Structure 1
Amino acid sequence: MASLGGIIGSGWLFGSLFAANDAGPAAVFSWLIGGFAVLLIGLVYAELSSMIPESGGIVRFPQYSHGSLVSFIMGWAAWIGYCTVTSIEAEAVTQYANYYIPGLYVGKTLTPLGILVSAVLVIAFFLINWYGVRAFAAVNTRLTMFKFVMPVLTLFAFLLFGFHTRNFEHFGGFMPMGSAGVLKAIATAGVIFAFLGFRQSVDLAGEARNPQRDVPRAIVVSILIGVVLYALLQIVFVGALTPADLKAGWANMSMSSPFADVAMTLGLGWLAFLLFFDAVISPAGTGIVYTASTCRIGYALAQNGSWPRVFSLLHPKRGVPYMGMIINLIINLILLAPFPGWNKLVGVVSSAIVFTYVAGPVAALSLRRTGREMNRPLTVKGMGLIAPVAFIIASLIIYWSGWPTTGEVLITMLIGLPFYIYFYRRDKLPAEHVKAGIWLVIYLIFMIIMSYIGTFGKGELKLIPYPLDMLVVAAGSLVAFYWGVNSGIVTAEVNTAVRTQNGDAGMSGKTAHARA
């Protein structure tokens, strides 16, 4: 429910419109390709989370395989991305709530009143998580069940009352923007953003009863459900549009509340009312989920020794990283101001969080060499092929975000390095951790250069034509991948895990966190 609750959020309310803007009817391919890509990445994390079921696993996995530099860069990216998602979901709730309270959203931005309402929502997400993982689970499970019902009801309603097959042939044809539009939609229209929620179960693994069994199941099942649901929603959305909606062309189609607006056009007032109500519930549920995950990312970074120790402080009664939650709350509120709209944030966040995917494939294959003695409840067959393909796919998704979005995100990752240097010197972290992470810094620089000279985005040089630019990104990514795999080291965390499973050490980090 945590993973599915993260997947079914504001993505289903806005993603179909923005994907159609970029790719027309062919946007359904964007959902299928994006879902398949995330599924490959999900298989990597399924194996890792069964081996290392700790809170904030996305940060802990590279700590086991490469040490503090790689884990810090990944954690820095994840923390920035996760913080921002909470703000995105609050803004999505407010944008749809404008139906009930006019004046919250004008044009394409929130008004000052809308930003204030979003701030109140962010505080509400915080309070639900403040009372611990049990309170979070109780609220999230009920919200997710309701969130799943509404998209399914919308599917059947649009099919029965307003589906026009001509929309897939006229108005520029099935693929009016070509294959480049399909690929662009994956990164910038909310496709990848919608699937990002699968990792919520990974981040919460340290508090699961049977993480070795349940977390891999949660990852795979939630992604598969999400792919089917979003692809069908895209089909019925395109089919339900009227000629008036498409008179300005796919790229210029604009709606403040896509599915609800179409429902009202079809005369389905009852469905529009339910959609506006669900549009408040769905993003709110996802906001609650990401609020839970964000503080656990900070907790994991602090456990690694490359983040302020205050983030690792646990509430004596509720067991949550309470100081991290308070700091994250302040940041969430600040982020509401510069990005007053859903589509203003989604491309940046997608790139930031997808960037963190690149560490998983490298860590998975590296640990098969450096951590072969570690307990491995789940061994994914074909990892030697899945891991490099997943790495290349993650790199392409970042690249498809286009300049300047990619530049902003990747440069932000490099800006985090001075913070790492401070913690490196403060705690006298091992020098081999730096050597094991050089590949990632070079990879970051390579992706920034490719984004600037490639063909996706605005203001780029276009020195390498499409699709040759994609081949160059794939080739460079493959070099970085195998460099990263061969840079893996036998870390102290690996040695501790082996001793623990052999009964020669104290309780594991997961057990310690659960007891705390």
Structure 2
Amino acid sequence: MARPGGFKKSLNLLDLTFLGLGSIIGSGWLFAAASAASFAGSYAWVSWLIGAVAFILIGLVYAELGSMMPRSGGFVRYPHYTHGSLVGYLIGFISMLAYSSVAGIEVEAVRGYAATWWTSLGTKAAGPTTLGYLFEIILLIIFLLLNYWSVNVFGKFNTVITTIKFLVPILTVIVLFTHFHASNLSVGGAKPGGAFGVFEAVSLSGIAFAFLGFRQAVDFGAEAKRPQRDIPLAIIFAILLGTVMYLLLQFAFLGAVPAGELAKGWANLTFEQAPYADLAKSLGLLWLMNVIFVDAVISPSGTGNIYLSGTTRVLFSWAKTGLFYSWFRKVDARTGIPRGALWLSLVLSIIWILPAHLNFWQGLVGNVTSATVLTYMIGPISVASLRKTAPNMDRPFRLKALGFLSPLTFIAATLIIFWSGWTTNLEIIGLTLVSLILYFAFVDKEGMRERIRSDWKSGSWLVVYFIFMLIISRLGNYQLPTGAKPIIASPWDSVIVAVGAIIFYYWGVNSAMPQPEIDEDDESDIALNASDV
């Protein structure tokens, strides 16, 4: 008999790995290679390596946290455990923004590909039509229904879908390599190109966005059968498999583009609406074009489905901290799903696809990348803080050389945020700082009011960090407003960001609460074996 309000413990290592891999291989594979080539040209593969190294470091940090404390929506709760309500609220708010928008990105990707043969859905230049918006909303409703009944059905469905959508990129790589032209690797014409283009591609072309999905193993930790063993393995497997796949896809794309299409350089390719399908068509591979069009529905849809479910866990976790409405922490006893949070996830996802200035895939990607990495950068600080304040906690996975890798991870995450640029960071960080008005409303209740002073002492570094990132983003050289000139030229802007990151890292670690406040007996998080239902 299931205990009321409990998650069901039904996901194995394969399920967790495919949750991560299924999120990593979504719309990113359909667009990121072409977008990265426009930024960095034939050096786009370097951008993938930079992104992979950064996210392997981030993943290893969360492997330790996830194995120590398998919690639903753990990314929201770990900073609350170590640094209190202010940090917990800020990370929770950004997580809500980051997660809820990804499902919108994925349905936009599906519509974008579908619009090449169903033109009534809209165009890249004009965006979705009314029918296009309706198409996207219906897809989101389908995702809700797939998540509504049970996590076991959701997990098994995702494993099957991920297996299918993994095969199409493999087929695409094999076929395109038969049309590989090594001379393409010496073609220029990227914008901005060079080292600047390589760094900008990491954040804005979809590379960092593609790797964001590794976190699913952590967010579904409370529903894993063997979380201490499987969470670290699932994180590592998902990132490594995704890295290999994306490097192969990038080289296949770079080498297979016909010479005539490169006459004006990488930044002027005409493969915009459906890059891989357009490339296959230009090579006379109509059968491959049709296969890619089918996968353009399956791949992003699978990822959107995962992220709608992941958003549900984030909202649940935020409510568990007491910093969001308590109704969203209620778990349906029969299905093990926080259905109130699931409905809110649907509403938020729909809101993200409606503003006209966020219609396009690449525009949304920059916002989501910055927002999500803003939630990741706290991990290195939390794990280092726990090494100091809770040294005797059981650590099934213990990251070696933490004293070196943890600050390096924080620097890498901070640079990715910075490379997202001024325009993106102003929207995300500015909105988060304004949202502090809600924080004071949530903590203005019995039992929390007296904590404000100590929690601000533990969390003020994060507010200053956000302000620093806003200032340096405006002074630097990435995504400035039209006509604006950088005050600090590259690469010195990135150097200053890295130095600042070191300062904030040690400030954050030393600001942790003397004793972490971890909910040892968390009734709503007790994971139940499927056999108990």
The question of 1:188 aligning with 2:188 is answered no
The question of 1:130 aligning with 2:130 is answered no
Query: Residue 374 of structure 1 aligns to a residue in which SS?
Result: coil
The question of 1:98 aligning with 2:89 is answered no
1:404 to 412, 420, 423: 423
1:146 to 164, 167, 176: 164
Equivalent residues of 1:66, 1:437 under 8 A apart: yes
- Equivalence for 1:452: 474
Q: 332-341 or 224-233: which moved more? A: 332-341
Shift of residue 244 of structure 1? 3.0
Deviation digits for residues 233-289 of structure 1 (CA, Å, limit 9, x no counterpart):
111101111133223322222321001110111111111110000010000000011
1:384 to 398, 403, 409: 403
Shift of residue 508 of structure 1? 6.7
- Equivalence for 1:110: 128
- Equivalence for 1:478: 502
Equivalent residues of 2:89, 2:323 under 8 A apart: yes
Aligned counterparts, 1:327-406, within 5 A: 327-338=344-355, 339-406=358-425
Deviation digits for residues 357-377 of structure 1 (CA, Å, limit 9, x no counterpart):
111000000000111122211
Shift of residue 100 of structure 1? 4.2
- CA distance, structure 2, for counterparts of residue 137 and residue 118 of structure 1: 23
Amino acid at match of 2:435: G
Deviation digits for residues 305-336 of structure 1 (CA, Å, limit 9, x no counterpart):
11111110111311111111111211211221
- Equivalence for 1:213: 229
- Equivalence for 1:227: 243
- CA distance, structure 2, for counterparts of residue 281 and residue 70 of structure 1: 37
Q: 118-127 or 241-250: which moved more? A: 241-250
- Equivalence for 2:444: 425
- CA distance, structure 1, for counterparts of residue 257 and residue 169 of structure 2: 17
Amino acid at match of 1:222: A
Equivalent residues of 1:198, 1:223 under 8 A apart: yes
The question of 1:69 aligning with 2:69 is answered no
Equivalent residues of 2:146, 2:154 under 8 A apart: yes
- CA distance, structure 1, for counterparts of residue 211 and residue 141 of structure 2: 25
Equivalent residues of 2:422, 2:480 under 8 A apart: yes
Equivalent residues of 1:4, 1:198 under 8 A apart: yes
Identify if the C-alpha distance between structure 1 residues 391 and 492 changes in structure 2 by more than 3 Å, giving closer, same or farther: closer
Structure 1 vs Structure 2 CA RMSD:
1.7
Identify if the C-alpha distance between structure 1 residues 290 and 404 changes in structure 2 by more than 3 Å, giving closer, same or farther: same
Deviation digits for residues 429-458 of structure 1 (CA, Å, limit 9, x no counterpart):
223222110000000000000001111112
- CA distance, structure 2, for counterparts of residue 112 and residue 165 of structure 1: 44
Matched-pair identity in %: 42
- CA distance, structure 2, for counterparts of residue 513 and residue 321 of structure 1: 15
- Equivalence for 2:458: 436
- Equivalence for 1:272: 289
- CA distance, structure 1, for counterparts of residue 25 and residue 36 of structure 2: 16
Amino acid at match of 2:462: L
- CA distance, structure 2, for counterparts of residue 172 and residue 333 of structure 1: 37
Equivalent residues of 2:42, 2:185 under 8 A apart: yes
Identify if the C-alpha distance between structure 1 residues 188 and 340 changes in structure 2 by more than 3 Å, giving closer, same or farther: same
Deviation digits for residues 341-362 of structure 1 (CA, Å, limit 9, x no counterpart):
2122111111100111111000
Shift of residue 468 of structure 1? 1.1
Shift of residue 463 of structure 1? 1.4
Amino acid at match of 2:34: L
Query: Residue 163 of structure 1 aligns to a residue in which SS?
Result: coil
Shift of residue 408 of structure 1? 1.2
Equivalent residues of 2:422, 2:473 under 8 A apart: yes
- CA distance, structure 2, for counterparts of residue 12 and residue 408 of structure 1: 26
Equivalent residues of 1:443, 1:480 under 8 A apart: yes
Identify if the C-alpha distance between structure 1 residues 201 and 156 changes in structure 2 by more than 3 Å, giving closer, same or farther: same
Equivalent residues of 2:41, 2:187 under 8 A apart: no
Equivalent residues of 2:89, 2:439 under 8 A apart: yes
1:179 to 195, 201, 217: 195
Shift of residue 464 of structure 1? 1.3
Equivalent residues of 1:90, 1:284 under 8 A apart: yes
- Equivalence for 2:265: 249
How many residues are treated as equivalent by the alignment? 505
- CA distance, structure 2, for counterparts of residue 433 and residue 213 of structure 1: 33
Shift of residue 186 of structure 1? 0.1
- CA distance, structure 1, for counterparts of residue 343 and residue 526 of structure 2: 25
Q: 134-143 or 240-249: which moved more? A: 240-249
Amino acid at match of 2:199: L
Provide structure 1 residue ranges, at least 5 long, that are not aligned to the other structure. 498-505
- CA distance, structure 1, for counterparts of residue 409 and residue 188 of structure 2: 35
Amino acid at match of 1:196: L
- CA distance, structure 1, for counterparts of residue 217 and residue 316 of structure 2: 16
- Equivalence for 1:155: 173
Equivalent residues of 1:53, 1:510 under 8 A apart: no
Equivalent residues of 1:99, 1:276 under 8 A apart: no
Shift of residue 98 of structure 1? 2.2
Amino acid at match of 1:374: M
Shift of residue 513 of structure 1? 7.5
- Equivalence for 1:503: none
Deviation digits for residues 203-250 of structure 1 (CA, Å, limit 9, x no counterpart):
000111111100110101110111111111111101111133223322
Deviation digits for residues 99-131 of structure 1 (CA, Å, limit 9, x no counterpart):
442321313322221111000001011110111
- CA distance, structure 2, for counterparts of residue 427 and residue 209 of structure 1: 37
Deviation digits for residues 8-50 of structure 1 (CA, Å, limit 9, x no counterpart):
0000000011101100010010011101110001000000000
- CA distance, structure 2, for counterparts of residue 251 and residue 282 of structure 1: 26
- CA distance, structure 1, for counterparts of residue 485 and residue 444 of structure 2: 39
Identify if the C-alpha distance between structure 1 residues 15 and 399 changes in structure 2 by more than 3 Å, giving closer, same or farther: same
Provide structure 2 residue ranges, at least 5 long, that are not aligned to the other structure. 1-17
Amino acid at match of 2:69: I
Deviation digits for residues 127-180 of structure 1 (CA, Å, limit 9, x no counterpart):
1011121111121001000111011100000011x211111113459x971100
- CA distance, structure 2, for counterparts of residue 513 and residue 470 of structure 1: 47
The question of 1:465 aligning with 2:489 is answered yes
Amino acid at match of 2:264: A
- Equivalence for 1:14: 31
